[in-house]
Amino acid sequence: MTQPSTEIRRAAISALVALMLSCAAIPAVAAQSSDTNQKPAAKSSTTHSAKRSSKKRKPTRIKGQQKIDSDRATEIQEALIREHYLNGSASGTWNQASEDAMRRYQGDHGWQTKEVPDSRALIKLGLGPSKDRLLNPESAMTTGPDAPRAQAVAPTSHSATPDSSPASTSTQSDPSPQ
């Protein structure tokens, strides 16, 4: 009876060894087959070519306003001409002269000069946001706060003056009935 159980053990062990060897061989065969599907490497040359990625690239989406339309460019140019930062007449195209004039305007007011036009500069030129579609345009906060007021009025006191004492008020005649 001991002999059939040892034969079963040997068969189970040999089946287990065969399974382990086949599992170890699968990645090696897969790597070899993927290498044969690839094109041979090109010889290096003096010019470098861009490597192509197997991943698909998403198209790059540019954010923000890319171009100033002609109506807005005309408004800005007229305002810069009015403020003596641009010479000539408004052409309606946002060109290098317009950009340079806006940079000077923003720099003279202490604002950044990298992004042109800056929203603060447009507001200062009187070209702030449009209030056409606002429900309450008169109360919309589209500009900065008002300038500080002049001197504040001293508060009035409703109590008795400091020089009057209770004794002095009692000696006065009070015409009202008590």
For 51-108, the pLDDT digits (tens) are 666 677 777 888 777 788 899 999 999 999 999 999 999 999 999 999 999 999 999 9
Encode pLDDT of 122-176 as tens digits: 999 998 877 777 777 777 665 555 555 555 555 565 665 555 555 545 455 555 5
Nearest-angstrom CA–CA distance, 61 and 116 = 21
* The pLDDT of residue 58: 78
pLDDT for the residue numbered 117: 87
Residue type at 175 in one-letter notation: P
**Confidence (pLDDT) at 12:** 87
Note the pLDDT of residue 17. Answer: 86
Report the alpha-carbon distance of residue 19 to residue 38 in Å, rounded. Answer: 30
- pLDDT for residue 24: 73
Q: Which residues contact 7 (CB under 8 A, 6 or more apart)?
A: none
Cα separation, 117 vs 123, in Å, equals 10
Helix H segments across the chain? 2-37, 70-82, 96-108, 119-124, 166-171
Q: At residue 86, what are phi and psi to the nearest 5 degrees?
A: -140, 140
Stated pTM of the model: 0.42
**Residue 133: other Cβ atoms inside 10 A:** 6
Instruction: Name the 3-class secondary structure at 167.
Output: helix
Token output for 41: 């490497």
Contact 124, 108 (CB under 8 A): no
Q: Indicate the pLDDT class of residue 119, thresholds 50, 70 and 90.
A: confident
**For residue 65, what are its two tokens?**
């306003």
Amino acid at 116: V
Phi, psi of 94 (to 5 degrees): -80, 100
Average model confidence (pLDDT) across the chain: 74
Question: What was the pLDDT predicted at 50?
Answer: 59
